[in-house]
Structure 1
């Protein structure tokens, strides 16, 4: 620039030949220094509001308690010095951040890892209750079992109705491995502290042994991160947030959080993870080629126990009463306890499946899983038992039946109300019209009418098929003799 000016070029010409702007050329004419060097350092325009307390009070606080938040320091300063303006919060936050960068304690370093192909699969649970998912009109309180391969990013999710448990881990892990199509060398989960909660030492040791046996069945090395050190499981912990946001977005696009049943919601979750894995299909295919083969069969993913069916036509398991058909009273059942269901066996014969219930841990009250079909025959002989039945509310299969009982109780005697309600349940059982009958009851109750048994019986009674009249004409026995006779003219 200077050489061009000496040669007689104008500032505009020198700037153009040097690749500068005209404004830059004029600035260089006035001085060779950069703008920042030419400017005088800005002086403080107001007194430092922390000068009197920084070294004497704030620094000792931060030294004694390095994790102290800036807002807590401010509140303490205002308490000690009411004349301080609370508006100095941002100044205090900046000053504390700078002090910690210069004089604060060393923080934990997160060491990024290289994950070899097929080496590590991780499992963890995350809470999805905040999504507000509805199943058959009721809010679903659930968590998600989440599996991820560290190298390829393959993911699998399984809806869990209860809390963290061995059954939930075993079922979810096996589902994930069979979807993946292979087995990694190692499997890592957290410390399983939630599953161990409220268990005695023997139960904890048994659960630990079962987890080790589960991994041994798939020839995986079982590992765990240290208690309270979540970042050791960070490969999957960090993906929890992404999974939740993806599910939330899918629910918003769907336009509804209500599902017909649990199976429909599980299909919805499976589709979300399937789309994720499709986007990473190339990396997953490369990693799958390095995985160990799957075993021929699944291993046990349930807990087994024996229960006694009482005279109440049911049994109690983990503070939940389950009803069973009355013919099983006095029998001893072998129950396989899964996360979402119970499979009951009498000897070696499978006799029934029950939805799993859970007690209310907040109140300590027992839960009830009742099927009115199990007790309706006995209840018809003793309809008055309905009035103060312990599990009366759980007996009604749909809200319309409970609503009918309440309406009958208000306008009829207890005896009549119990009798009609039991007969309504019997009608639903006999004619297999539970849903249709509930709809009819809603219409009658909305109109202010009480249900009429005779009308409902006539409406839902199956149509009687008419038997056609068939006329059979008797055949003369003499015709059989004619069949065996051959006339002489017929012989050739």
Structure 2
């Protein structure tokens, strides 16, 4: 057929016909022209062999012909992992005068064909059937690609992601720390109790990130706790091999889908900034909830095969004992936390969650603190989680301590107060600045007007002024706080005799 190259089969058929027929008749019966028959008889090589020795677009000699069997094939046999571009560079180093750049695509194609015929065996992925109720999967993914900010500040965090493989039902929540047993146990149990049932198997990755930087004994302890967690819920714990992502593919692929849904929802929202981390958590739950609504029918089938929940949740926190020092707080995992000063000298039991620390004294809950994170500065230095209400009573008696306070910048409850301190420190002597600033913090605490006072300070500073402590105290003094004289009339003792007499007469 005109315009199409002949095949090896056509050539063999033509040559067999030529034994009994003239050239013109044999060519017509084989399906090509007489001139093609003439070329075949002149060059008996097969069409495929001629094409291998000719570059696309021309008939120039093959630059790889002399190198293929002598150098390229031995390289492929000795080092199967070499890429074509690396082999090309090696050949150009061995033959400085030889320019093989135009032959790159030819080399890539030939290596691919050679590996298909002579290369090592490749890994086979075995597709699996997933019956309902059989498997749930957990994993974490980095949320930085979503570019979510909290009050304008970047907030690096992970998202814990759980999914049922059969129905596709999902649960996701924000994890402020890294991968840890606490984050896994808390997220998994939140997912199961929201689901209302338990799959027969729970699959994760190798959990190497959750156990990173831990001593061997601590790693074994966490593995034991994870096994106990799964035993409490009657789930079989399974893991994929380290570095083999496709073994956890049912959750890995869902990471991408969830990221896409969140990105689209954030674009529709018009902004990626949230006032507080709780607003971002709520938004995430809403996006996941809309997805789960579309999986309702499949979940109804799977729910019949789930195991029931246990009677109570399992342990999903770490524990530690801390001593409250004379500094009005304690250090836990390189973070200093303040507590009410009345607890100085007491040992407290701390339950460490991903986002908070619950404190217990003699078995009774007494305080909940937000979880802090150790600074990424190597050895030395601590982060600080400070509540000014814990120390303002003592600071009020020693206001000059504010000037060089280690955690001064963390003491201010809002950015407006920090801005006010900078203005006072730049305009007044340090002693006066400390006195006014401590007075403002006490006013915010004593009159419960932290937000209102912050707004007032913003207005004063925007007008290039400085706050007048006395004026603000008068403005925010709440009615009813002034002392009131109470007059008590004490009756004469003989009036009680009159009451007794009247009672006897009535009897």
Match status 1:412 vs 2:431: no
Which residue number in structure 2 is paired with residue 104 of structure 1? 119
Alignment of 1:1-40 (within 5 A): none
Tell me the secondary structure at the aligned position of residue 196 of structure 1. Answer: coil
Which residue number in structure 2 is paired with residue 66 of structure 1? 80
- Shift in Å, 1:154: 1.5
TM-score (norm 2): 0.80
* Change over 3 Å in CA distance of 1:246–1:65 after alignment to 2: farther
Which residue number in structure 2 is paired with residue 367 of structure 1? 383
Tell me the secondary structure at the aligned position of residue 311 of structure 1. Answer: coil
Give me the whole-angstrom Cα distance separating, in 2, the residues matched to 1:426 and 1:71. 70
Which residue number in structure 2 is paired with residue 205 of structure 1? 220
Give 5+ residue unaligned stretches, structure 1. 1-30, 469-483, 485-492
Q: Indicate conservation of the 8 Å contact 1:191/1:227, yes or no.
A: yes
- Shift in Å, 1:87: 5.5
- Shift in Å, 1:381: 1.4
Q: Residues 64-101 of structure 1, C-alpha deviation per residue, up to 9 Å, x if partnerless?
A: 43333344444445555375264654444334333333
Give the counterpart of 2:141 among 126, 140, 161: 126
> Which stretch shifts more, 316-325 or 418-427?
418-427
Tell me the secondary structure at the aligned position of residue 459 of structure 1. Answer: helix
Give me the whole-angstrom Cα distance separating, in 2, the residues matched to 1:59 and 1:434. 77
Q: Residues 238-278 of structure 1, C-alpha deviation per residue, up to 9 Å, x if partnerless?
A: 22111111111111111111112222211211112212222
Q: Residues 387-421 of structure 1, C-alpha deviation per residue, up to 9 Å, x if partnerless?
A: 22111111111122222222222222222222222
TM-score (norm 1): 0.82
Give me the whole-angstrom Cα distance separating, in 2, the residues matched to 1:230 and 1:219. 26
Match status 1:347 vs 2:362: yes
Give the counterpart of 1:357 among 368, 372, 375: 372
Q: Residues 282-315 of structure 1, C-alpha deviation per residue, up to 9 Å, x if partnerless?
A: 1111011111111121111111221100111111
Tell me the secondary structure at the aligned position of residue 193 of structure 1. Answer: coil
- Shift in Å, 1:439: 2.3
Tell me the secondary structure at the aligned position of residue 354 of structure 1. Answer: strand
**How large is the RMSD of aligned CA atoms in angstroms?**
2.8
Which residue number in structure 1 is paired with residue 471 of structure 2? 455
Which residue number in structure 2 is paired with residue 423 of structure 1? 439
Give me the whole-angstrom Cα distance separating, in 1, the residues matched to 2:382 and 2:336. 7
Which residue number in structure 1 is paired with residue 162 of structure 2? 147
Q: Residues 336-372 of structure 1, C-alpha deviation per residue, up to 9 Å, x if partnerless?
A: 1111001111112211111000012354442111111
Give 5+ residue unaligned stretches, structure 2. 1-27, 40-46, 485-501, 503-507
Tell me the secondary structure at the aligned position of residue 422 of structure 1. Answer: helix
* Change over 3 Å in CA distance of 1:53–1:323 after alignment to 2: farther
Q: Indicate conservation of the 8 Å contact 2:88/2:100, yes or no.
A: no
Q: Indicate conservation of the 8 Å contact 2:198/2:309, yes or no.
A: yes
Q: Indicate conservation of the 8 Å contact 1:78/1:86, yes or no.
A: no
Match status 1:260 vs 2:275: yes
* Change over 3 Å in CA distance of 1:413–1:95 after alignment to 2: farther
